[in-house]
Amino acid sequence: MTGAQLEKIFKYLKNQKWRIFGSAKISGEEEQTAEISPYLKAHQPIDLEPMPAGRLQIKELESINELILSDELPIYPFKNLFIPECETLFEYKGNQLTESDRSHKIALFGINLLDLKAFNLYDLVFANDPYYQRRRKNSLVIGYATNLEKDVYGRNYEPDILEHVHFDIFIEGPSMHSAKQGKLNSEKYKIFAGSIKGQRILEHLGYKKYEYIEFNGPLVNKERMNELRNKLTNHHQQKIWDELGKRCIECGKCTIACPTCFCFRIDDEAGLVENTGVRTRCWDSCYYREFSEVSGPSTSSGQDNKPKFLTTTAQRIHFWYYHKFARIPDEFGIQGCVGCLRCHQVCPVDINIKEVLEDVKK
Amino acid sequence: MKNPYLSHPAKIIKIIPQAANIKLFRFKFVREGRYHFAPGQIIELSIPGFGEAPFAPCGAPDKEYFELCIRNVGKLTDRLHAMKVGDTVGIRGPYGNGWPISYNKKHITENKNLLIVVGGLGLVPLRTLILGKDKYLGKNTKVQIFYGARTPADFLFRDEYDAWRKYGIVIDLTIDKECAGWHDCVGLVTTLFDKKRVVNNAQAYLCGPPIMYKFVLEQLKTKHFADKDIYVSLERRMHCGLGVCQHCAVGHLYTCKDGPVFQYEQIKNIEGAI
């Protein structure tokens, strides 16, 4: 496929009323996390740094001129398009609940392979969730990679990686930093279809040279997964978590930046008209103190006085790692981490997941 | 796809004050008939604008109504306590696994007796089992209750104890501190292990404030209870009730989905479970 044909797909989707999201360059004006997370912002004691100019973020795109196809990971993943940071589950009037349906046709254009892996987990976690499933059904996923051998960090992908991620269309070929540059790329893109939906769009546009890939389930490095799971489950090393507990400032940025983190809370918000309001589901973070709070008499004076089960920073950071590397493997047979390293990149105190896992393995 | 977060309206048909700040609410579903739950399971109760919270039903089995015994401690329960007969709440569930009798009959076939050790509100999730003793445990099973409360006025369902005793259930009570007019045991619930004879060949069901478990487990060990014969009902923060939101996770398990009742054997090695 040529760069011009990619543009044709983009325009076709636009005409078909798909809202298109993809990677775009950050100008440097946008405030960090403001777009993705007012909730996180509310938890921040100080003003946030502006978003790093030049990095990529996922944005709604009006034209292909804004789109960047590259192996570089956008600063935040696309999970908020499927489980929004805050969404209305029901609107209520008196005791009457009405299910909210605000799903749109969403096309993700150029999602990298590491982020595509996160779908494998979300599809399992939210298998019975009508809100997620509606959005998933109404979505079109177009994956992208410069090559299918190595990721942006130079690590090898699993063999036949495309058989182990969900997509409708997948594009493999040279990176594109502007549509103009893309146009020069003639016949350089290899196209794969991963669903009938993707196939139909390609055929409709008269493109037949694609390869059809059947989804073959998530691929798991069982040995590595079981090693970590076993260490965390049967060889708890409090020292690791105590040390991390001294460094971690519980800002929760890693949970926002992580493509697999999905903890949430459910709350009611009263509306302006009496007896009306909404029941919401919003992202939560296991680093926040109220995460495990229960009712009951206060245990001490001061702000942090409600009884809770995760009482120390060390316990909370352990909870995060345990979830990804022990509980998710136990529950779903896959690992709760796609290796994107965003948690390290956003961490203000430089906690490096690779180093932590090495310590756990020791 | 069915929406698992949708609650069903239930009307308050009776309110019985139990102790300071604690009321027993009787509900009836507006649309459905009988309410099926196993003793020890939980439901999510919601009041629009005030949120949702998990509670353990505690009424007699096989009735056209169900009961919840609730302490006024927060926004939702404060609103509930202000409600009157005829007012409506939302209910979804039941969720999780209750006391082991509810999903296997092992307890009866093994012919074990039952020691219930509870503190404070911990008696609530066991009341259904007690009221339905013959149904759930069989006529020959001996049941003994160790129950600790702060003061005599804090004992829940105390006007029912005579009826329970007539039913063959042994109830041993203790209060935290000496108090005028109280001639029974004084001290934490663990003191009952020294003062009373524990029913033989028994399983133990525990429910109470988190701090209670460690000390009761120590006592049970001195009485040679095997870990597989001890069951604990765990308290955790819950939001979804479906094993998704992660708030109630304990190790690889979810309190809402896999519990709230766990065999001690199953959780004893989990960091932070007890």
Which ipTM was obtained for this model?
Answer: 0.92
Residues B224 and B201 placed together within one structural domain of the fold? yes
DSSP collapsed to 3 states, A1-41: CCHHHHHHHHHHHHHCCCEEEEEEECCCCCECCCCCCHHHH
Determine the residue among B80, B121, B237 to mutate to test chain A binding: the one whose Cβ has the most chain A Cβ atoms within 10 Å: B237
The nearest CA of chain B is from the CA of A173 a distance in Å of: 38
Burial of B24 from C-beta contacts in 10 A (0-12 / 13-18 / 19+): buried
Residues B115 and B57 placed together within one structural domain of the fold? no
Q: Do A266 and B5 touch (CB under 8 A)?
A: yes
Asked if the structure places residue B259 within a domain, the reply is no
Residues B67 and B119 placed together within one structural domain of the fold? no
A300 touches chain B (CB under 8 A): no
Asked if the structure places residue A217 within a domain, the reply is no
Give tens-digit pLDDT for A117-174: 999 999 999 999 999 999 999 999 999 999 999 999 999 999 999 999 999 999 999 9
Q: Do A266 and B239 touch (CB under 8 A)?
A: yes
Residues A165 and A257 placed together within one structural domain of the fold? no
Q: Do B49 and A275 touch (CB under 8 A)?
A: yes
Give tens-digit pLDDT for B114-149: 999 999 999 999 999 999 998 888 888 899 999 999
* CA distances, A166 to each of A81, A122, A170, A202, B65 (Å): 16, 11, 10, 17, 47
A132 touches chain B (CB under 8 A): no
Asked if the structure places residue B219 within a domain, the reply is yes
Asked if the structure places residue B250 within a domain, the reply is no
Residues A328 and A286 placed together within one structural domain of the fold? yes
Distance CA A270, CA A278 (A): 6
Cis ω before B260 (30° cut-off from 0): yes
Residues A235 and A301 placed together within one structural domain of the fold? yes
* Sheet order of strands, A19-25 included: A56-60, A19-25, A106-111, A139-145, A169-172, A190-193, A211-212
Q: Which of A164, A193, A212 is the last residue of a domain?
A: A212
B105 vs B136: which has the higher pLDDT: B136
Residues A204 and A256 placed together within one structural domain of the fold? no
B214 touches chain A (CB under 8 A): no
* CA distances, B68 to each of B26, B28, B86, B121 (Å): 7, 11, 16, 11
Q: Residue A178 above 70 pLDDT? A: yes
Smallest CA-to-CA distance from A19 within A164, A135, A98, A186 is with A135
Highest mean pLDDT among A1-10, A25-34, B200-209: B200-209
Looking at residue B102, its pLDDT comes to 45
Domain that holds residue A268: 222-361
Asked if the structure places residue A260 within a domain, the reply is yes
Parallel, antiparallel, or unpaired for β A264-270 and B253-254?
unpaired
Q: Which of B55, B73, B95 is the last residue of a domain?
A: B95
DSSP secondary structure letter of residue A324:
I
To which residue do tokens 């797909």 refer?
A9
* Tally of domains in chain B: 2
Q: Do B46 and A268 touch (CB under 8 A)?
A: yes
B98: Cβ contacts below 8 Å, ≥ 6 apart: B37, B38, B39, B40, B41, B125, B260, B261
Residues A208 and A236 placed together within one structural domain of the fold? no
Give the pLDDT band (50/70/90) at residue B35. confident
Q: Residue B103 above 50 pLDDT? A: no
Question: Helices (H) and strands (E) in chain B — how many of each?
Answer: 8, 15
Size of interface A-B (CB pairs under 8 A): 108
Residues B229 and B113 placed together within one structural domain of the fold? yes
Distance CA A58, CA A78 (A): 7
Residues A118 and A173 placed together within one structural domain of the fold? yes
CA dihedral defined by B61, B65, B70, B72, rounded to 10 degrees? 180
Determine the residue among A87, A125, A295 to mutate to test chain B binding: the one whose Cβ has the most chain B Cβ atoms within 10 Å: A295
Looking at residue B180, its pLDDT comes to 86
The nearest CA of chain A is from the CA of B51 a distance in Å of: 5
A332 touches chain B (CB under 8 A): no
Asked if the structure places residue B262 within a domain, the reply is no
Q: Are A37 and A250 in contact (CB under 8 A)?
A: no
Residues A227 and A208 placed together within one structural domain of the fold? no
Q: Which of B217, B233, B249 is the last residue of a domain?
A: B233
Smallest CA-to-CA distance from B270 within A154, A313, A288, A330 is with A330
Distance CA B39, CA B67 (A): 12
A184 vs A32: which has the higher pLDDT: A184
Phi, then psi, of A175 in degrees rounded to 5: -70, 160
Give the pLDDT band (50/70/90) at residue B104. very low
Asked if the structure places residue B215 within a domain, the reply is yes
Give the pLDDT band (50/70/90) at residue A37. low
Helical segments of chain A, H only? 3-15, 38-43, 113-125, 130-137, 179-184, 196-204, 222-234, 238-247, 253-257, 313-322, 328-332, 342-346, 353-361
Asked if the structure places residue A293 within a domain, the reply is yes
Give the pLDDT band (50/70/90) at residue A42. low
Residues A247 and A289 placed together within one structural domain of the fold? yes
Residues B110 and B89 placed together within one structural domain of the fold? no
Asked if the structure places residue A325 within a domain, the reply is yes
Looking at residue B34, its pLDDT comes to 63
Asked if the structure places residue A180 within a domain, the reply is yes
* CA distances, B88 to each of A72, A90, B29 (Å): 53, 17, 9
CATH code where residue B33 lies: 2.40.30.10
Q: Do A266 and B240 touch (CB under 8 A)?
A: yes
A277 touches chain B (CB under 8 A): yes
* Tally of domains in chain A: 2
Asked if the structure places residue A39 within a domain, the reply is yes
Residues A91 and A131 placed together within one structural domain of the fold? yes
Distance CA A88, CA A277 (A): 10
Residues A287 and A336 placed together within one structural domain of the fold? yes
- Give B-chain residues touching A89 at CB under 8 angstroms: 5
Q: Who among B4, B73, B236 is closest to A309 (CB)?
A: B236
DSSP secondary structure letter of residue A106:
E
Q: How many CB atoms lie within 10 A of CB B221?
A: 12
Domain that holds residue B160: 100-233
Residues B90 and B107 placed together within one structural domain of the fold? no
Distance CA B263, CA B204 (A): 10
Looking at residue A38, its pLDDT comes to 53
Read off the pLDDT of each residue in A91-102 and give the average, rounded to a whole number.
88
Give the pLDDT band (50/70/90) at residue A184. low
Asked if the structure places residue B270 within a domain, the reply is no
Q: Of chain A residues 70-109, which have a CB less than 8 A from chain B?
A: 89-90, 92, 94-95, 97, 99
Q: Which of A155, A183, A212 is the last residue of a domain?
A: A212
Residues A197 and A143 placed together within one structural domain of the fold? yes
Burial of B52 from C-beta contacts in 10 A (0-12 / 13-18 / 19+): buried
If residue B108 lies in a helix (H) or strand (E), which one and from where to where? helix B106-109
CA dihedral defined by B205, B210, B216, B221, rounded to 10 degrees? 80
Asked if the structure places residue A76 within a domain, the reply is yes
Asked if the structure places residue B241 within a domain, the reply is no
Q: Who among A97, A296, A330 is closest to B7 (CB)?
A: A97
Residues A240 and A177 placed together within one structural domain of the fold? no
